[in-house]
Amino acid sequence: MDSLSVYVVGAGPAGLFAARKLAAAGHRVTIFNRDVRPGGLAEYGIYPMKHHMKAGLRKQFAKILAMPNVEYYGNVALHCDGPLSCESLRAWQPAAIVYAVGAQGTKKLGMPGEDARGVYSAKDFVYHYNALPPFSSQDFSTGRRVAIVGMGNVMVDIARWLLIDQPGAKPNEVTVIARRGPFEVKFDEKEFDYVEQFLDREAFREELARVSEVAAAAGQDVSTVADSVFPWIKTEPATPSQSKLKFRFLTSPVGIEADIAGRIERLRVVENLLIRQGEDTKARATDKESALPFDTLIFAIGDVADPTVGLPYGKNEYLCNTDPSDPDRAAYEVFDTATGSIITGDYLVGWARKASEGLVGKARFDAERGCDYVLKYLEHAPARSTPGSAEILDELQARSEAVVTKQGVERLFQAEAGQAQALGVPEFKYPTNQEMLGAIGELREAHCAA
Ligand SMILES: Cc1cc2nc3c(=O)[nH]c(=O)nc-3n(C[C@H](O)[C@H](O)[C@H](O)COP(=O)(O)OP(=O)(O)OC[C@H]3O[C@@H](n4cnc5c(N)ncnc54)[C@H](O)[C@@H]3O)c2cc1C
């Protein structure tokens, strides 16, 4: 097979494992990444104290970047109106482009008051505590009464951060707001173990009593909750905590009221019915409304694709092919509604293809599966004249503030490892691009091919 030039946009798990598969097949892979450092959510999403998991992934990613036919350009974001766009990448005529930009858009419920201070999306909040610029330097202050909307693992991570690891004062109460009932939790038991000691057992039993009738109408018996989904309520925590973790089931937010300083003061909610649909259940809002006092609200309801990347965009997602003759392959191909056909050679993988779906292993699987189709396409892709790596770097440097190469990333990791050792901490991350670029070796040096 001829060695062709393939671009990968995004260096999260999906982009990096895609790069590995394409490079292992002999192609020349160029990665363009918004963040200075590679890793995506493996760096900036996975819980900060999961050092072992993060270190293991970092090792695998370092091996991928070390492949001789893989180039990396960090601190380079694709934007439809920016100096680097999908069109400018296509103009360099790579044989294929694999988009692995993740789900960087924010899901909005479109309710009044959503822009109040103290209201955050989980992605931004998690980026903040994982030190991703610019979120790392922005205000994500939390108060004494925090609501988290959503019942997945991300909710648990955020509760864990607020109740255990966040520096400074801890909240008095963290309340999980869930559309459906206790049987519809989405988190893993072993993740909830981290915060179970904060679960207010008495309040939880009262909450079960409050929703028991509605649950019963959907064929659920809340008296069995302890045996199935909430085993923790069978026992009291060994060390009772000042901060309490509570649940408010069958509840949907409908509006936010702010105080005179513009910070959230109350969350208006409606109560829901639970409707059985075969094996599944669905929430249906009633007109029973109330207002709950909170000074912080975090939406952990999943994310959506970022429309500003410039790929054809539908409702919250990039558009992919719907060819019924081969739906699996088609689901990875970018579809252009303007022309009514696929954009030949453009592919989507990972969370860019299916937002907020699954763990790293799933993103990897998706990327590798997508690359099976990319590789098949490359077998017959036309040979084109594409710029070499020096030319691409020159072009990027002309368009960007400071481009970070894979050698620069190595220097960054060395500098951060040195800092961690000096401070006696398991991990250290520079929280601003300025500091990262400085550590790589002067802004100017990073600019001139790190
Ligand atoms: C809070 C949280 C906790 C998690 N914890 C775990 C866990 O404990 N274990 C686990 O296995 N999984 C965990 N996951 C899931 C895991 O992080 C994802 O499955 C995985 O990171 C998705 O990979 P991805 O490459 O598709 O997207 P991402 O990881 O989001 O990577 C996207 C990459 O694209 C780049 N990018 C974005 N926009 C642009 C642009 N415009 N131009 C160029 N580059 C761009 C970004 O810089 C980033 O490098 C967690 C996820 C979250 C949100």
pLDDT in tens, 315-355: 999 999 999 999 999 999 999 998 999 999 999 999 999 99
| 319 CA distance to ligand 1 middle (Å) | 19
- What pLDDT score does 239 carry? 82
What is the number of domains present in the chain? 2
Same domain, 289 and 159: yes
Is any atom of ligand 1 closer than 6 Å to the C-beta of 159? no
144 in any annotated domain? yes
- What pLDDT score does 383 carry? 80
- Longest CA–CA span in the chain (Å) reads 69
310 in any annotated domain? yes
| 310 CA distance to ligand 1 middle (Å) | 19
Same domain, 266 and 130: yes
Whether the predicted pLDDT of 25 surpasses 90: yes
Tens digit of pLDDT for each residue in 156-196? Answer: 999 999 999 999 999 999 999 999 999 999 999 999 999 99
When pLDDT is cut at 50, 70 and 90, the band that residue 279 belongs to is confident
Pairing of strands 173-177, 244-248: parallel
Same domain, 136 and 178: yes
330 in any annotated domain? yes
Same domain, 295 and 318: no
Euclidean distance between CA atoms 389 and 157, whole angstroms? 40
Q: What is the DSSP letter of 263?
A: B
Q: What is the DSSP letter of 37?
A: S
The residue among 38, 25, 97, 32 whose CA lies nearest residue 71 is: 32
What are the residue ranges of helices labelled H in 238-337? 327-330
Answer whether 40's CB lies under 8 Å from 415's CB.
Answer: no
Segment holding 43, helix H or strand E: helix 41-44
Euclidean distance between CA atoms 24 and 367, whole angstroms? 14
Same domain, 142 and 247: yes
Same domain, 328 and 295: no
Name the packing angle between helices 51-65 and 406-423 (round to 10°). 150
Euclidean distance between CA atoms 321 and 343, whole angstroms? 9
Is any atom of ligand 1 closer than 6 Å to the C-beta of 42? yes
The residue among 111, 261, 250 whose CA lies nearest residue 176 is: 250
Same domain, 168 and 265: yes
23 in any annotated domain? yes
441 in any annotated domain? no
Q: CA triplet 110, 114, 118: central angle to 5 degrees?
A: 155
Is any atom of ligand 1 closer than 6 Å to the C-beta of 89? no
CATH number, domain containing residue 317: 3.40.50.720
- What pLDDT score does 1 carry? 60
Same domain, 22 and 133: no
Euclidean distance between CA atoms 326 and 324, whole angstroms? 5
Residues near 170 by beta carbon (within 8 Å), at least 6 away in sequence: 162, 163, 242, 243
The residue among 8, 11, 12, 72 whose CA lies nearest residue 359 is: 12
Please tell me the residue having the least CA distance from ligand 1 atom 49. Answer: 40
Is any atom of ligand 1 closer than 6 Å to the C-beta of 371? no
Euclidean distance between CA atoms 329 and 417, whole angstroms? 42
Q: Mark which of 260, 281, 299 sits at the end of a domain.
A: 299
Same domain, 280 and 134: yes
Mean pLDDT computed over 202-215 = 97
Euclidean distance between CA atoms 263 and 390, whole angstroms? 50
Mean pLDDT computed over 18-36 = 98
Please tell me the residue having the least CA distance from ligand 1 atom 3. Answer: 46
374 in any annotated domain? yes
- What pLDDT score does 400 carry? 82
Q: Mark which of 365, 382, 400 sits at the end of a domain.
A: 400
CATH number, domain containing residue 289: 3.50.50.60
25 in any annotated domain? yes
Name the packing angle between helices 406-423 and 433-441 (round to 10°). 100
If you average pLDDT over every residue of the chain, what do you get?
94
Same domain, 141 and 71: no
- What pLDDT score does 442 carry? 43
Same domain, 156 and 70: no
Q: Mark which of 400, 416, 444 sits at the end of a domain.
A: 400
When pLDDT is cut at 50, 70 and 90, the band that residue 446 belongs to is very low
Answer whether 102's CB lies under 8 Å from 14's CB.
Answer: yes
Same domain, 308 and 286: no
**Which residue is it, tokens 């960087």?**
104
Q: Dihedral of the CA atoms 323, 308, 434, 89 (nearest 10)?
A: 50
370 in any annotated domain? yes
Is any atom of ligand 1 closer than 6 Å to the C-beta of 358? yes
What is the per-residue burial (b if ≥16 Cβ within 10 Å, else e) of 333-354?
bbbeeeeeebbebbbbbbbbbb
Range of the domain at 53: 5-104+304-400
Euclidean distance between CA atoms 369 and 18, whole angstroms? 9
